DNA sequence: GCATTAACGAGACGATCCGTCTCAGTATGA
DNA sequence: TCATACTGAGACGGATCGTCTCGTTAATGC
């Protein structure tokens, strides 16, 4: 079924070298100071090889993240059965992760990449933000199914607030929140007896 | 006390022309396609005049916002005495504002500017984000003083969530929230009887 | 009025990086 | 062996960078 490739196959080694070089350069100098020429030089490949496979810098970054060369903090949401504890763990871990300069640089890089154009932003959100958002929403739905959230609770609003409040502090250049998990208690309505710890 | 200036004073007309030209060009083409040379050309001034007063493009944008040539949605938080209604108004207005393409472009421009370096991010946050954050915090404190918020409520967490959840949708390339004010009910603990509408 | 001072508009300048292009070399399948 | 497609290297014109130097202009101080 699938057509067999005819000529010389794509070099996996070079592909990895490009993604690794991109990750390193972003950590060292920041997204917008990274140039295609610098990536090619460090990866030891020609510029054409990069332009053949990636149409823009932001797409290289997106691939680097998808491939795991650049790690985003918000990957998995734990599910121990206790929604509040899981979310507190997740938010706390995300906040701790954001203290790491390399992670801050990466998040800024992604924001900058997403800032380039509306189209770029959509492509990045499909591959990066949407999966994380989806994982969080699934965890919220599971908790709702177990009765740990009101059936009428607006899960989108909760997910927006959880992701947004962490993202906000990073992008605004604010110091990390003193009590990052406080937002969880607020959102889950800790007022009437829900709070633990 | 203050030293009298000696030579030719800075041209206020040119300063305004630069900020206006920047605002127009951002709206027309997007932040990263705007060049210093294009700003100078449209403002009818020399490049050196720009470089004399601004050390980077992001600082021009910051000044344009501070001066009101580019309007950010989150300026004033109303204070009618009803905290919930005021916040719902504010969030709803912010969400509506974010539907306007020019505003989306501006917010992305600021995010891109803040992504440049840690120092840039700090400077922008001092002049732009911090005042908005402060205005929101003052409104929350006023509400808390009137007993509309628990005395132990974590106001920082509420402010983070309010600003962050709007910012998040813009930067992530998500469509505007269906019910933007839902976050207010969540944060104010609408569960036990506080909800209106 | 006249010297002094500093910002002004204009644009030349070398540098960097863009994205395209060509080139000889290399790894695969037919 | 041949055709094919990808490889690293780098030349190329163009855009923009940030610096620099003009002659000009609008203030202050004598």
Closest CA to A169 of A104, A118, A73: A104
Q: Which two tokens stand for residue A93?
A: 């871990």
pLDDT at B59 over 60: yes
Q: Which overall architecture, per CATH, does domain B12-66 show?
A: Orthogonal Bundle (1.10)
- Inter-chain touch A108–B121, beta carbons under 8 Å: yes
Q: Please tell me if residue A158 touches chain B, with a CB cutoff of 8 Å.
A: yes
Q: Sign of the C-alpha dihedral, residues B91, B94, B98, B104?
A: negative
Closest CA to A189 of A156, A149, A159: A149
pLDDT mean over B66-70: 83
According to the model, what pLDDT value does residue B52 have?
97
Residues of B within 8 A of A179 (CB-CB) are: 154, 157
**C27 C1' to A56 CA distance, Å:** 27
Under a CB-based contact definition with an 8 Å cutoff, are residues B191 and A191 in contact? yes
How many CA atoms are closer than 13 Å to the CA of B36, on its beta-carbon side? 15
Q: Please tell me if residue B176 touches chain A, with a CB cutoff of 8 Å.
A: no
pLDDT digit string (tens) for chain A, length 197 residues: 566 778 999 999 999 999 999 999 988 888 888 999 999 999 999 999 999 999 889 889 888 887 878 766 556 789 999 999 999 999 988 888 877 877 777 777 777 677 666 666 777 777 777 878 888 999 999 999 999 998 988 999 999 999 899 888 887 777 888 888 999 988 887 543 333 33
pLDDT mean over B174-181: 85
Nucleotides of C under 7 A from a protein CB: 4-12, 16-23, 25-30
Q: Which residue has the higher pLDDT, B159 or A94?
A: B159
According to the model, what pLDDT value does residue A58 have?
85
According to the model, what pLDDT value does residue A175 have?
80
According to the model, what pLDDT value does residue A190 have?
55
According to the model, what pLDDT value does residue A1 have?
54
In Å, what is the CA distance from B85 to each residue of A68, B7, B181, B186, B196?
44, 53, 9, 13, 9
pLDDT mean over B115-120: 66
According to the model, what pLDDT value does residue A115 have?
65
Binning pLDDT at 50, 70 and 90, where does residue B190 land? low
Query: Rounded CA gap, A133 and A86, in Å?
Result: 15
Which of B124, B161, B191 is closest, CB to CB, to A183?
B161
Residues of B within 8 A of A164 (CB-CB) are: 160-161, 163-169
**Topology of domain B83-188, CATH:** Tetracycline Repressor; domain 2 (1.10.357)
Report the share of chain B in percent with pLDDT over 70: 88
Q: Which residue of A has its CA nearest to B121?
A: A173
According to the model, what pLDDT value does residue B192 have?
38
Q: What is the dihedral of CA B83, B84, B87, B92, to 10 degrees?
A: -150
According to the model, what pLDDT value does residue A30 have?
82
- Give the residue extent of every domain in chain A: 12-66, 83-188
Rg (CA), chain A: 20
Query: Rounded CA gap, A99 and A46, in Å?
Result: 35
Which nucleotide shows the minimum CA-to-C1' distance to residue A13? D7
Q: Sign of the C-alpha dihedral, residues B8, B10, B12, B18?
A: positive
Q: Please tell me if residue A137 touches chain B, with a CB cutoff of 8 Å.
A: no
According to the model, what pLDDT value does residue A196 have?
37
Q: Is the CB of B14 under 7 A from strand C?
A: yes
């Amino acid at each position: 079924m699938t057509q067999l490739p005819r000529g010389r196959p794509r070099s996996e080694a070079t592909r990895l070298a490009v993604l690794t070089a991109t990750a390193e350069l972003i950590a060292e100098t920041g997204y917008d100071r990274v140039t295609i020429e610098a990536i090619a030089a460090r990866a030891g490949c020609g510029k054409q090889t990069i332009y053949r496979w990636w149409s823009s810098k932001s797409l290289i970054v997106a691939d680097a993240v998808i491939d795991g060369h650049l790690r985003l903090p918000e990957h998995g949401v734990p599910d121990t059965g206790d929604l509040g504890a899981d979310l507190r763990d997740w938010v706390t871990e995300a906040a701790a992760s954001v203290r790491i300069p390399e992670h801050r640089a990466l998040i800024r890089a992604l924001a900058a990449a997403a800032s380039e154009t509306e189209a770029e932003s959509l492509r990045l959100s499909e591959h990066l933000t949407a999966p994380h958002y989806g994982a969080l929403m699934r965890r919220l739905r599971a908790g709702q199914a177990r009765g740990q959230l009101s059936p009428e609770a607006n899960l989108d609003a909760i997910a927006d607030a959880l992701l947004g409040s962490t993202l906000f502090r990073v992008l605004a250049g604010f110091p990390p929140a003193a009590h990052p998990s406080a937002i969880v208690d607020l959102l889950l309505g800790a007022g009437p007896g829900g709070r633990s710890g």
